[in-house]
Amino acid sequence: MPPEHAHRRMARGAAARRPLLACLLLGCSLLAGIAPAAAQTLIKVDAAQRVALGVRLAPVRRAADAALDLPARVVVPVNAQALVAAPVAGRIERVEVGAGEPVRRGEELARMRSVDVARLQRERDDARVQLQLARQQAQRDRQLLAEGVIAAARAQASATQQRQAASLLRERELALRMHGAAPGADGSVRLLAPIDGVVAEARAVPGERVDAMAPLFRLVVADALALEIDATAAQAAALRAGAAVDVPAAGARGVLLAMTPGLSAGQSVVLRARLQATGSLRAGALVRVRVHLPAQAGLFVVPPAALTRMGGHDAVLVADPEGFRVLQLRVVARLPDAVVVDGALREGQQVAASGVVALKAAAGAQP
């Protein structure tokens, strides 16, 4: 190769290496003032170095300021609904109410006729006759005993028969009340509302024959709604009963009551919340709810990117006039957009939320 060609190639190689050499020199000059933090709690960084390393700060917030955005179902609490079923097999005579109508406790929902109830009514009437006869016999025996005509044992026996007849009559009357029998002996049964509320479902049809315990009406207390919220095990671990819950899209709010001890079929923890203001919610709706973390002393929230490992412990880098102070802490819960930690932090402090790896590498910190 001619000497002039070799000289030109060397010149081009030197020109290509100049930008890389310049970058290395700039990086060295920026990092020259960073003190090693392998066994220290302070990483000294000035403003220019912070910008060069791409460090972004984020504020420390109280745990009560954080909230989880979770899916939920709007349901009616079990203690705010009632099911009215056919007490016996029979035929529906008439239906008085339909779905959506308000009802009062004791109001008649429907009437049916049953052969079984007619039999119970006949047995009740027989028990009444037996009690009347036993009462008359006991009265005669007491009179004869007073006159000395009969022995005391006979009077005691008739008194016992009277008590037995009275007990049998009470039993037959109780059976009729439990079956909702109407007065008379025609086998009529009245289905009455057990609570004040609204008819959510009405399945009874006039003329239809139904079996015993067939569900005919479902009643719910008006405006009594609750939420069933799905959360992961990690999310549920950060929550406590009493946490505030709200549905911003519907103007509803409530409070967290409890959570299931195990996982559902979908591998989630089901949280139950009672609504204090239902807003525009309706039972059966699928909504997004916001569950606020409960206020607890010593618990704070930092961005997930701010959390790092230093010296084998979880830590954050707290902004300091001279750079960043390494603060070890304990992770309480990891949320999708935040980490709940327990440590010597203060609300409003600034922590490094980006450039953390560069700061550690520049300071020579060990993971």
pLDDT tens per residue, range 178-229: 888 877 778 899 999 999 999 999 999 999 999 999 999 999 998 889 999 9
Instruction: State the CATH number of the domain containing residue 71.
Output: 2.40.30.170
Same domain, 333 and 283: no
Residue 54 forms part of a structural domain: yes
The pLDDT of residue 1: 47
Residues 229 and 273 in one domain: yes
Instruction: Determine, yes or no, domain membership for 116.
Output: no
Note the pLDDT of residue 190: 92
- 280 lies in the same domain as 319: no
The last residue of a domain, from among 275, 292, 309: 292
Q: Which residue range(s) make up the domain with 239?
A: 67-77+225-292
Q: How high is the pLDDT of residue 295?
A: 64
Number of CB atoms found within 10 A of residue 157's CB: 14
Here the tokens at position 314 are 């979880």
Domain's final residue, options 266, 292, 318: 292
Return the pLDDT at 347: 87
pLDDT of residue 181: 83
Q: Is residue 12 included in any domain, yes or no?
A: no
d(CA 152, CA 142): 9
pLDDT of residue 15: 46
Residue 275 lies in a domain: yes
Q: Is the same domain home to 230 and 284? A: yes
Quick check: is 15 in a domain?
Answer: no
State both tokens at 195. Answer: 């609570």
Residues 6 or more apart in contact with residue 318 via CB below 8 angstroms = 324, 325, 326, 327, 345, 349, 350, 351
Instruction: With CA atoms as reference, report the closest residue to 69 among 263, 242, 300, 249.
Output: 249
pLDDT of residue 296: 66
Q: Which residues on adjacent β-strands are paired with residue 277?
A: 253
Distance CA 326, CA 307 (A): 11
Report the number of distinct structural domains present in the chain.
2
Is 218 inside a domain boundary?
no
Domain endpoint, select from 292, 327, 349: 292
Do 268 and 319 sit in the same domain of this protein? no
Q: Is residue 162 part of a domain?
A: no
Q: What is the pTM of this model?
A: 0.60
Residue 44: strand pairing partners = 323
Chain-centroid distance, C-alpha 177: 38
Same domain, 330 and 305: yes
Q: Please tell me the number of Cα atoms within 13 Å of 10 on its side-chain side.
A: 7
Residues of the chain with pLDDT under 70: 1-40, 64-65, 294-297, 336, 364-367
Q: Dig out the tokens for 276 from the structure.
A: 């204090």
**Do 277 and 235 share a domain, yes or no?**
yes
Q: Tell me, yes or no, whether 49 and 73 share the same domain.
A: no
Half-sphere exposure of 296 (CA within 13 A, CB side): 19
CATH number, domain with residue 59: 2.40.420.20
In a domain, 53, yes or no: yes
